[in-house]
Homo-oligomer: A and B are copies of this chain.
Amino acid sequence: MTGALSLNTATVQRLSLGQAADLCVRHEIPAIGLWRDRVTQAGAAAAAATVRAAGLHVSSLCRGGFFTHADADARADTLCLVSGGLVPGSKDLGQARQMIADAIGELVPHAQRHGVRLGLEALHPMFCADRCAISRLADALDLALLFPADAVGVVIDTYHVWWDASLAADIARAAGRIASYQLCDWVVPLPADMLLGRGHIGDGHIDFPPISAQVRAAGYAGFAEVEIFSQEAWDAPADQTAATVRDRYERLAGDRAPGGRPVAGR
Contact = CB atoms under 8 A, between A and B. Distances in A.
B91 A125 contact: no
SS of A interface (majority): loop
A183 to B, nearest CB: 14
A194 B126 CA distance: 10
B124 A126 contact: yes
B165 A205 contact: no
Interface in A149-171: 162-165
Interface string A202-245: 00111100000000000000000000000000000000000000
A129 interface: yes
A126 B129 contact: no
Nearest to A167: B93
A28 interface: no
A130 B128 CA distance: 21
Q: Give the bracket for the number of chain A residues in contact with chain B.
A: 20 to 34
A190 B126 contact: yes
Contacts of A186: 129
Contacts of A198: none
A180 to B, nearest CB: 21
A102 interface: no
A207 B126 CA distance: 16
A139 interface: yes
Interface string A112-147: 000000000000111011100101100100000000
Closest 9 CB pairs of A and B: A128-B163, A91-B207, A129-B205, A192-B192, A125-B163, A126-B126, A139-B165, A125-B125, A130-B188
20 contacts: A86-B205, A91-B206, A91-B207, A93-B162, A93-B165, A93-B207, A125-B163, A125-B164, A126-B126, A126-B190, A129-B163, A129-B186, A129-B204, A130-B189, A130-B205, A133-B163, A136-B164, A139-B165, A190-B194, A191-B192
